[in-house]
Amino acid sequence: MVIKDKVIKAINKQINAELYSSYLYLAMAAYFAADNWLGFAQWMKVQSREENAHAMKFYEYLLERGGRVTLSAIEAPAKEWKSALDVFEAVYAHELKVTGLINDLLKVAREENDTATESMLKWFIDEQVEEEANAVAIVEKLKVIKGFANGLLMLDHELGERK
């Protein structure tokens, strides 16, 4: 089965969104690193690599199906936030947006009767459940900490363990 143009266009749009996500998390890593929050920075660098891997999954899938990958400009991400809580609230909001994009892509696959793409998207749907849960868990911890230095230091250490 040849992949349809509408699905190719939607997947290329998702590749760009995943690369933007990688870029956003790298900007967040730089924000944290500049203030010497190296654990938070580490978490963001790992997240950036993970988002890049997601883009490559779509990239490889599109090529495997005979589609043409067409890369477009990646929007510049924000570079300043008010606090660690502000950053992780932005992470959570961004992951909700990505979930919406994956759901939109699933809708296109279904409209085009592309069961192969629909099957491939199941992995991403499951991944987004995990991404949202991880982000909201950190948001909730930061809300409990309420900016107390000891709590921030402990969370920074915990998040720095992510490999």
pLDDT given at position 63: 97
Residue 17 and residue 88: Cα distance in Å, rounded? 19
Distance spanning both ends of the chain, measured CA to CA: 39
| Domains in the chain with CATH codes | 5-160 (1.20.1260.10)
What value does the mean pLDDT of the chain take?
Answer: 97
pLDDT given at position 53: 98
Q: Is the pTM of this model over 0.75?
A: yes
Residue 24 and residue 135: Cα distance in Å, rounded? 14
pLDDT given at position 1: 57
Which amino acid, one-letter code, is at 123? W
Measured between alpha carbons, how far is residue 130 from residues 67, 104, 127, 148 in Å? 29, 19, 5, 27
115-144 average pLDDT score: 98
Which amino acid, one-letter code, is at 31? Y
Q: Return the percentage of the chain with pLDDT > 70, whole number.
A: 99
Please, are residues 25 and 47 in contact by the beta-carbon 8 Å criterion? Answer: yes
